[in-house]
Amino acid sequence: MIKRTKGDVIFDTLNIIFMILILFIIVYPLYFTLIASISDPTAVSLGKVIFTPVKLNWEPYASVFRNSTIWKGYRNTIFYTVAGTIWNLVLTLPTAYVMSKKYLPGRNFLSWYFLFTMYFGGGLIPSYLNVQHMHLVNKPIVLVILGGLSIYNMIVCRVYFQSSIPEDLYEAARIDGASDFLQFFRIALPLATPIIAVMALYYGVGRWNDYFTALIYISDNEWVPLQIVLRNILIQNQGAASLQVQEGMMADEETREYMERMKNLAQGMKYAVIWIASAPLLIAYPFVQKYFVKGVMIGSLKG
């Protein structure tokens, strides 16, 4: 048994305190969103909601469930996330597999080409003009096909194929007459479950949280994702507050009460939608956590 010194005990204690602090910083905002969504909006505005709900209020959730726009946004976001993540994997995994082959002709040139596009791009205006010329503006498919390949993720997958799958397996398959196509589907993919799960998580989170692409290319409310719906709720909340300040003195008591109620309802819906939007990722993460831990260690010992 190794004897622990006083310095070891102090280091472990400080490390535990530091980790607890980091955990609190990460978890508390999500916890606050939950308790704020079921608390009285006035108490939230006055800063009375800190660790426990104040005056339970379920009206924001009832309004969310009655709001068809929010559910359309939820439907659209699920579609964009699932279809977009599949599209990302279809492009990333074969590209990474091909780039992992040292005998690939022009491999160095292709590596530099991909690396160049990782740091340099045409910008927003040329991208928008390209999408416009392809008649994809305001079409839901644009949110699926754009951003199909992340160079960084492709490099991570390439390192995995190089370092985690022995070349001897491919050689044995070639001796048995297997083509590169069969080697990819029969050997590489079955052994690449950890990196596939990690890439699905990376791409899925990015797709789920993406709102800027929809903000630029989608204007039809029928196809906006949940993040745009949430943004609109935030804008409406700010607009209601401004309107209340501007017209509060001119309105009668009944009108002021109605404006105050609408403002509070918008604020409560804001927290409720944030929580509802975060729930699917929180549910999915534990199922891929073990693969995520394996994935972040890629390249730490080899390559």
pLDDT in tens, 268-298: 777 887 787 777 777 777 776 766 665 555 5
Number of neighbours of residue 98 by Cβ within 10 angstroms: 15
Let me know: does 76 contact 140? Beta carbons within 8 Å: yes
Query: For residue range 199-241, what is the model confidence (pLDDT) as tens digits?
Result: 888 898 889 888 888 889 988 888 888 888 877 776 766 555 5
Q: Which two tokens stand for residue 38?
A: 């079921």
The single-letter DSSP state of residue 187 is I
Q: How far apart are the first and last CA of the chain?
A: 35
Q: Which two tokens stand for residue 201?
A: 């998580």
At residue 82 the predicted structure's pLDDT band, cuts being 50, 70 and 90, is very high
Query: For residue range 133-167, what is the model confidence (pLDDT) as tens digits?
Result: 988 888 889 999 988 888 888 988 898 888 888 88
Number of neighbours of residue 176 by Cβ within 10 angstroms: 8
| Single pTM value for the model | 0.77
Query: E strands of 172-301, at which residues?
Result: none
- For the chain, domains (ranges, CATH) are 58-296 (1.10.3720.10)
Q: What length does the chain have?
A: 303
As a whole number, the mean pLDDT across the chain is: 81
